[in-house]
Chains A and B, each alone.
Chain A
Amino acid sequence: MSRLTNVFAELEKTGRKALIPFITAGDPQPDFTVPMMHAMVNAGVNVIELGVPFSDPMADGPVIQRASERALAHKMSLRKTLAIAAEFRKTNQTTPVVLMGYLNPIEAMGYEAFANAAQIADIDGVLTVDLPPEEAEECTALLKARDIDPIFLLAPNSTDERIQKMDALGSGYIYYVSLKGVTGAGHLNTTDVANKLQQIKAHTTLPIGIGFGVKDALTAQTVAALGDGVVVGSALISKIEANLDNPERAKQEICELLSAMRLAMDSVGA
């Protein structure tokens, strides 16, 4: 059983939901990320999505775009992101790490070389934003052969047919993009999400992580009740951006927010 599958299974036993933070590797500087990851684990997160910086993050809003730019200014790359993940794994063998990014850095490395490197870094899942199932076969096969979960996105306008496609091709969990828009947008509609989740659950038994539009403990709590996991990204990165002169304070504020989310989410199940 993969680390990801295991985490969701364990949580389900106690009726809890996964808290899944997203941060961009190397933002605001390369040595910030590994300690940040450990701190987030201490704050109660279950899975970490580690963003691979890319020069043209087409699906991201301004907050994550700027995170990419800051990381790239420090020459962050896919290789260095893998190195960060490997470093984290040295002292944490339980928390799954999912790489999230765009296809071109993987293309540049080569699919097979990437799959090998991800295996060596003990990566648990790979989510490639601009690689829909139509084009994903080759890459997915290489990852699965190395027990790495390929994670796909679903959107509010995804049809039954596409949900089935993601179910067939993906594993670990499915990332539900809760609104039409880019990351960090702010118009989450709980009823819509609930309805869509019902449709999705009819076609897949994979856990569903819900992201886009989760801002605070209250939205985390609301969203947690609808799916199996809550993804939070821009809200965390905003803390980094607000404290560029003081990364330690950013780390502290991020952990406080995550702890509050953890608490709120767990009180749903109670």
Chain B
Amino acid sequence: MRTRVKICGFTQIEEAVYAAHQGVDAIGLVFYPPSPRNVTIAQAQDITNALPAFTTVVALFVDESEARIREVLQQVPIDCLQFHGDEPASACRIYGKRYIKAVRMQATTDVAELAEQYHDAAGLLLDAYHVDAKGGTGQSFDWELIPKHCALPIILAGGLDETNAKQAIQAVRPYALDVSSGVESSKGIKDALKVTAFIQQVNVSIHTQPHPQGETHRRIEVGRLSLPVNEEVTAKDNDTDVSSSNLNIPLNGEVSDQRDVSMTEKYNMPDLRGHFGPYGGLFVAETLIPPIQELNAAYQQYLHDPEFIAELDADLQHYVGRPSPLYHAERWSRELGGAQIYLKREDLNHTGSHKINNTVGQALLAKRMGKTRIIAETGAGQHGVATATVAARLGLECVVYMGAVDVARQSLNVYRMKLLGATVVAVESGSKTLKDALNEALRDWVTNVDNTFYIIGTVAGPHPYPAMVRDFQAIIGREAKQQCLAQAGRLPDALVACVGGGSNAIGLFYPFIDDESVKLIGVEAAGDGVETGRHSAPLCAGKPGVLHGNRTYLMSDEDGEVIETHSISAGLDYPGVGPEHAWLKDTGRAQYVNITDTEALEGFHALTRMEGIIPALESAHAMAYTMKLAPTMRKDEIIIINLSGRGDKDMQTMAKREGIEL
């Protein structure tokens, strides 16, 4: 949801119309003669006549007589009244119009008490207190005075302008911002550039949901419809609001003074030490402890930092191309004859997969930490490309480690990385695949800890990587949830995503973990079949162990040696899995299934031919499982599949498999 903007104190027609076209939600007209922004009834009529539809007109009064207010209401099409004086509630509610009550904030102001007095108001407008001034003061006040929960929508006013709008939204998470002098060049004269800049700043914070001022959000079940509804309930314990800041900040068990930073209310993993139950943790050699502590500190700091979040939001929107669509695959759904299938189109992101959500975030962290060199491991090459891309953009040196086997089967991505200026190192040790690339990247990091930032591409590695990568990827699920509610009017019944390390899956799952009606299904790569031993399905066929800095399900032999994995898709060819998936498996919150190479190819062809979308071989595993699942479900049920990447990179593999010479 978007924070609304009201601009107050228009006197000129052109200025008001301009603001409306810039996207302002409400314009305020001041009927208070001492104000430099006072308008006459005639002026007000001219302005309202010129305004386009859907722009709310608010009339502001300060201790005005009933007669005068009625006169204005009779002659000007006012949508909403704003009382800025000492009007009691009884005086506000006699006009049969919606009203907002302005409150001048002092340390002793009891907002909750006022919300009760003016319980029928459409919002409380909080402004700075000034001993002489009634009406707007243009001064800001201490936002800490605003209670976290309030029974009415909060409209924040006082000293706002384009330089602090984002910050105000992050800190207060109000329903709306109210600005007047902050967008003026001189008293009463609105400045077009400032108006535009202000609205843009609010829009940059577009993913930031307003704080649920007001209402204890509860879910009510209306048939199969499950939506948050507003109720006048005072108990705060059952607040199950799903809002969050753009980044779902990992609290790691800490109680934060930030507001509603967590997406999930009940689920709060990992703990302070990075443990998801028995999984996760910090299993690294001593040399890596200091840089990991440094990273963790930066991560905790910047994910609470409004400027960081705003920059990330802007990058995700303008560079990555978010939000990615949620596409209803109607033809395929009909063909399968069961549930309605929706595809979360991460394949449409810049660089062609979900991987860039994370690399953009980590690269911004690297920049803020003053690191000049980026390293990464990659399997299919998607993460390597996404890393090389952000490194190129920020002018950072980039080295990507890739197993020699993967270098051979994903040569297109190797070339892309080289074009982007990265050095690609083919790793010849061990099984020459993703796990060995990770080993080599860790060795590089140990050697170059001072200037190097290691961008891990999946929800594995030592704490804080599993939580951090998840938080950067959770944008997938947050968008999907909003889009599904908007398109279908309800939550999905099942989410399906492929799991290698598990970053695209956790990105989709995480914002739904508290929504118990939504089934979470991770699809592992069964390769030649789990029973053959040639697969990459640790959750289905492995056991707990420790590798690459965390405890998780792992494919290792009875002596604890990690065994070689197999999958047609390089991105799933990994013997471990993110520790959070291990935890979700053990707790039963998610279920994990597996799909063979052959089945994945069927999924690949099905989506390509039915919907004209060529999926990555990784994502094709999720498609293939959906082909089994959808027919078992009713037609009014919904499956969201994470289409985590596009198939361009797999053309050679596909052609070779099918005996075609390119």
Verify if B277 is at the interface (C-beta below 8 Å from A): no
Verify if A130 is at the interface (C-beta below 8 Å from B): yes
> A123-144: contact bitstring with B at CB < 8 Å (1 yes, 0 no)?
0000001111011000000000
Q: Closest A residue to B428 by CB, please name it.
A: A62
Verify if B659 is at the interface (C-beta below 8 Å from A): no
Which of the residues A58, A59, A78, A154 comes within 8 Å of B560, measured between beta carbons? A78
Show 8 A/B contacts (Cβ-Cβ < 8 Å), sorted by A.
A55-B563, A58-B548, A79-B559, A107-B560, A109-B560, A155-B285, A157-B291, A180-B448
> A91-120: contact bitstring with B at CB < 8 Å (1 yes, 0 no)?
000000000001111111100000000000
Q: Closest A residue to B447 by CB, please name it.
A: A181
Whether the Cβ atoms of B561 and A77 lie closer than 8 Å is: yes
Verify if B85 is at the interface (C-beta below 8 Å from A): no
Whether the Cβ atoms of A108 and B558 lie closer than 8 Å is: yes
CB contacts (< 8 Å) of A62 on chain B: these are 429
CB contacts (< 8 Å) of A188 on chain B: these are none
Q: Closest A residue to B559 by CB, please name it.
A: A77
Query: Can you add 10 more A-B contacts, CB < 8 Å, to A104-B547, A104-B554?
Result: A54-B560, A56-B439, A59-B443, A105-B561, A107-B560, A108-B557, A130-B283, A130-B284, A177-B285, A182-B446
In angstroms, Cα B564 to Cα A69, docked, is: 13
Interface centre among A61, A77, A158, A182 (most CB of B within 10 A): A182
Whether the Cβ atoms of A135 and B286 lie closer than 8 Å is: no
Whether the Cβ atoms of A159 and B560 lie closer than 8 Å is: no
Whether the Cβ atoms of A132 and B560 lie closer than 8 Å is: no
Q: When A56-B430, A58-B442, A58-B443 are in contact, do A108 and B286 touch as well, CB less than 8 Å?
A: no
Whether the Cβ atoms of B447 and A180 lie closer than 8 Å is: yes
Q: Closest A residue to B440 by CB, please name it.
A: A58
Verify if A8 is at the interface (C-beta below 8 Å from B): no
Interface residues of A in 140-157 (CB under 8 A from B): 152-157
Which of the residues B286, B442, B556, B560 comes within 8 Å of A158, measured between beta carbons? B286
In angstroms, Cα B560 to Cα A53, docked, is: 10
Whether the Cβ atoms of A103 and B286 lie closer than 8 Å is: no
Verify if B290 is at the interface (C-beta below 8 Å from A): yes
Q: Closest B residue to A159 by CB, please name it.
A: B290
Distance in angstroms from A178 CB to nearest chain B CB is: 11
A interface majority secondary structure: loop
Whether the Cβ atoms of B447 and A55 lie closer than 8 Å is: no
Whether the Cβ atoms of B544 and A153 lie closer than 8 Å is: no
Q: When A77-B561, A155-B287 are in contact, do A134 and B282 touch as well, CB less than 8 Å?
A: yes
In angstroms, Cα B288 to Cα A155, docked, is: 9
CB contacts (< 8 Å) of B442 on chain A: these are 58-59
In angstroms, Cα B561 to Cα A152, docked, is: 22
In angstroms, Cα B417 to Cα A143, docked, is: 47
Verify if B562 is at the interface (C-beta below 8 Å from A): yes
Whether the Cβ atoms of A108 and B545 lie closer than 8 Å is: yes
CB contacts (< 8 Å) of A79 on chain B: these are 559
Q: Closest B residue to A212 by CB, please name it.
A: B287
Interface residues of B in 531-582 (CB under 8 A from A): 544-549, 551, 554, 556-563
Binding site for B on A (CB under 8 A): 53-62, 65, 69, 72, 77-79, 102-109, 129-132, 134-135, 152-159, 162, 177, 180-182, 185
Whether the Cβ atoms of A135 and B282 lie closer than 8 Å is: yes
Whether the Cβ atoms of A78 and B545 lie closer than 8 Å is: no
CB contacts (< 8 Å) of B557 on chain A: these are 108
Which of the residues A103, A108, A152, A156 comes within 8 Å of B559, measured between beta carbons? A108
Q: Closest A residue to B285 by CB, please name it.
A: A59
Whether the Cβ atoms of B560 and A129 lie closer than 8 Å is: no
In angstroms, Cα B554 to Cα A129, docked, is: 19
Verify if B289 is at the interface (C-beta below 8 Å from A): yes
Residues of B in contact (CB 8 Å), total: 39
5 shortest A-B CB distances, which residue pairs?
Answer: A108-B560, A105-B560, A77-B559, A155-B287, A153-B286
Distance in angstroms from B121 CB to nearest chain A CB is: 52
Interface residues of B in 560-614 (CB under 8 A from A): 560-563
Whether the Cβ atoms of A58 and B561 lie closer than 8 Å is: no
Q: Closest B residue to A62 by CB, please name it.
A: B429
Q: When A103-B283, A104-B554, A180-B446 are in contact, do A130 and B549 touch as well, CB less than 8 Å?
A: yes
Distance in angstroms from B306 CB to nearest chain A CB is: 31
Distance in angstroms from A187 CB to nearest chain B CB is: 10
CB contacts (< 8 Å) of A162 on chain B: these are 286, 289
Interface residues of B in 437-490 (CB under 8 A from A): 439, 442-443, 446-450
Whether the Cβ atoms of A55 and B286 lie closer than 8 Å is: no
In angstroms, Cα B435 to Cα A179, docked, is: 25
In angstroms, Cα B545 to Cα A251, docked, is: 35
Verify if B212 is at the interface (C-beta below 8 Å from A): no
Which of the residues A77, A104, A134 comes within 8 Å of B281, measured between beta carbons? A134
Verify if B93 is at the interface (C-beta below 8 Å from A): no
Verify if B368 is at the interface (C-beta below 8 Å from A): no
CB contacts (< 8 Å) of A134 on chain B: these are 273, 281-282
Whether the Cβ atoms of A78 and B559 lie closer than 8 Å is: yes
Q: When A104-B556, A157-B449 are in contact, do A55 and B290 touch as well, CB less than 8 Å?
A: no
CB contacts (< 8 Å) of A61 on chain B: these are 443
Q: When A56-B439, A180-B446, A180-B447 are in contact, do A104 and B287 touch as well, CB less than 8 Å?
A: no
Whether the Cβ atoms of A107 and B544 lie closer than 8 Å is: yes
Whether the Cβ atoms of A185 and B548 lie closer than 8 Å is: no
Distance in angstroms from B108 CB to nearest chain A CB is: 44
Q: When A109-B560, A130-B549, A134-B281 are in contact, do A157 and B287 touch as well, CB less than 8 Å?
A: yes
Whether the Cβ atoms of A55 and B446 lie closer than 8 Å is: no
Q: When A103-B546, A104-B554 are in contact, do A135 and B283 touch as well, CB less than 8 Å?
A: yes
Whether the Cβ atoms of B281 and A135 lie closer than 8 Å is: yes
Whether the Cβ atoms of A177 and B287 lie closer than 8 Å is: yes
In angstroms, Cα B442 to Cα A129, docked, is: 13
In angstroms, Cα B521 to Cα A117, docked, is: 41
CB contacts (< 8 Å) of B286 on chain A: these are 132, 152-155, 158, 162, 177
Interface centre among A57, A134, A154 (most CB of B within 10 A): A134
Q: Closest A residue to B554 by CB, please name it.
A: A104
Distance in angstroms from A245 CB to nearest chain B CB is: 22
Whether the Cβ atoms of A130 and B273 lie closer than 8 Å is: no
Whether the Cβ atoms of B443 and A182 lie closer than 8 Å is: yes
Whether the Cβ atoms of B561 and A132 lie closer than 8 Å is: no
CB contacts (< 8 Å) of B544 on chain A: these are 107
Distance in angstroms from B252 CB to nearest chain A CB is: 14
CB contacts (< 8 Å) of B429 on chain A: these are 62, 65, 69
Q: Closest B residue to A59 by CB, please name it.
A: B285
Q: Closest A residue to B561 by CB, please name it.
A: A55
In angstroms, Cα B544 to Cα A130, docked, is: 16
Q: Closest A residue to B281 by CB, please name it.
A: A135
Whether the Cβ atoms of B285 and A104 lie closer than 8 Å is: no
Q: When A78-B560, A104-B556, A159-B290 are in contact, do A56 and B546 touch as well, CB less than 8 Å?
A: no
Which of the residues B290, B547, B551 comes within 8 Å of A157, measured between beta carbons? B290
CB contacts (< 8 Å) of B287 on chain A: these are 59, 153, 155-157, 177, 180-181
Q: Closest A residue to B443 by CB, please name it.
A: A182
In angstroms, Cα B429 to Cα A69, docked, is: 9
Interface centre among A54, A77, A107, A156 (most CB of B within 10 A): A107
In angstroms, Cα B448 to Cα A109, docked, is: 34
Whether the Cβ atoms of A104 and B443 lie closer than 8 Å is: no
CB contacts (< 8 Å) of A107 on chain B: these are 544-546, 551, 560
Whether the Cβ atoms of B284 and A132 lie closer than 8 Å is: yes
CB contacts (< 8 Å) of B273 on chain A: these are 134
Whether the Cβ atoms of A56 and B435 lie closer than 8 Å is: yes
Q: Closest A residue to B431 by CB, please name it.
A: A55
Whether the Cβ atoms of B290 and A158 lie closer than 8 Å is: yes
